[in-house]
Structure 1
Amino acid sequence: MTSNTEVFPVLETKRLVLREITKKDANSILDYLSDAEVMKYYGLDPFNSLDNALDEIAWYQSIYSNKTGIRWGITLKEQGVVIGSCGFHNTVSQHSRTEIGFELSKGQWGKGIAAEAVEAIINYGFKHMHLQRIEALIEPPNLSSQRLVEKIGFVREGLLRNYEFTRGKFDDLYMYSLLKQDLDKINSM
């Protein structure tokens, strides 16, 4: 359970329920975050223990309680098993901006699930978190994530060279953004 007194927001879409991730979800998290393909652009090595999954869940809970982000578990309606996650991190309230992140179990790729989840959290972010700007930082080889955010209406602003040091190397990242006034683009999909 979160340490906030407020209730963690549960979001529903046509096929999905986005909900809080708890320790009970550790096996599901381990299942998909141990997959090298899922972790290719995640910035961490594939998980190899339940402790890795519990640490990740603790991070989700800490960003929520510290109000620097929020991470939802992606579940298919009627099933309840976490098949991925999406959310915001590096939130800067003073500037009404945040970064978006998402990943999905490989068995669920190509079904539009990630786009459905991302659209739901973007709507939530603009309407309920009063965000002005949502950023997506994506490695140039990660074409599927680029296509997803571009389809939703994100604009590529430029390349951040050697922006992040992960897994023993410096990575370039494309900076994408979606502004509150762009919300109409999402809702017209």
Structure 2
Amino acid sequence: MIGQVAVRRFPELTVSTPRTEVRRHLAPDTEAVSAIFADRLTQRWLPLAEESGQIDGAAWCADLARQRRDSGDGDHFAVVRREDARVVGCLWTKRTDWGSRLTEVSYAMASEARGFGLAAEAVIALAIVLIMEHDFQRIELRVAPGNVASRRVAEKAGFTYEGLLRNAGYVRGNRVDLELWSFVTADLH
């Protein structure tokens, strides 16, 4: 195998907080995931072309998650509310840079789970585990200006606003600026 480089894979992990559990998706999650991504408010902020249609929960939980893992780019996770064991959100990591030990996290929450701090609780728990147990140095969030709820998640999770990335993203097929937020090793102290 001279000349071949092994692909780094995202660590398999489960993270528990007082109110949530963050774990890889399971086959029974597909219906909840489809509903989360079909929600109008979630649709408003997804980085997809308008004509791309709905995200299929079965593909998200299995094929798309496996492709992201196999490429070394990241992983997909369910946010499970502990009080009733319901999947109430999705977290996913992407743009993982193994040399720099950084990754970006994104999230979408079910409408009935918004406004209770569950997204921030799950995001910071994932960030801390990635830094403390898996040697990541930097976790990033990118937020489209105007997505006030997502900005509040970043703030509540303890991420630091670093600035505006001009014309760096797209939402429903339109180019947008993105706010860059980060959580780094030094933020643990």
Shorter-chain TM-score: which interval? 0.7 to 0.9
The TM-score normalised by the length of structure 1 is 0.84
**Amino acid across the alignment from 1:173:** L
Give the counterpart of 1:28 among 22, 25, 32. 32
Task: Verify the 8 A CA contact 2:79 2:87 in the aligned structure 1.
Answer: yes
The answer to whether structure 1 residue 52 and structure 2 residue 56 are counterparts is yes
Look up the SS of the partner of 1:95 in the other structure.
coil
Instruction: Note closer, same or farther for the CA distance 1:180–1:143 as it changes in structure 2 (3 Å cut).
Output: same
Identity across matched positions, percent:
26
Q: How does 1:100-115 map to 2 (within 5 A)?
A: 100-115=105-120
RMSD: 2.5
Higher RCO, 1 vs 2 (CA within 8 Å, ≥6 residues apart): 2
Number of matched pairs: 180
Task: Verify the 8 A CA contact 1:34 1:46 in the aligned structure 2.
Answer: no
Counterpart residue number, 2:101:
96
Task: Verify the 8 A CA contact 1:90 1:98 in the aligned structure 2.
Answer: yes
Structure 1, unaligned runs of 5 or more: 185-189
Look up the SS of the partner of 2:135 in the other structure.
coil
Counterpart residue number, 2:3:
none
Instruction: Note closer, same or farther for the CA distance 1:17–1:148 as it changes in structure 2 (3 Å cut).
Output: same
Q: How far 1:55 sits from its partner (Å)?
A: 2.6
Query: Matched residues in 2 for 1:176 and 1:90: separation?
Result: 14
Task: Verify the 8 A CA contact 1:35 1:46 in the aligned structure 2.
Answer: no
Q: Which moved more, 1:90-99 or 1:75-84?
A: 75-84
The TM-score normalised by the length of structure 2 is 0.84
Counterpart residue number, 1:187:
none
Q: Deviations over 1:38-57 (max 9, x none)?
A: 222121359966x7222322
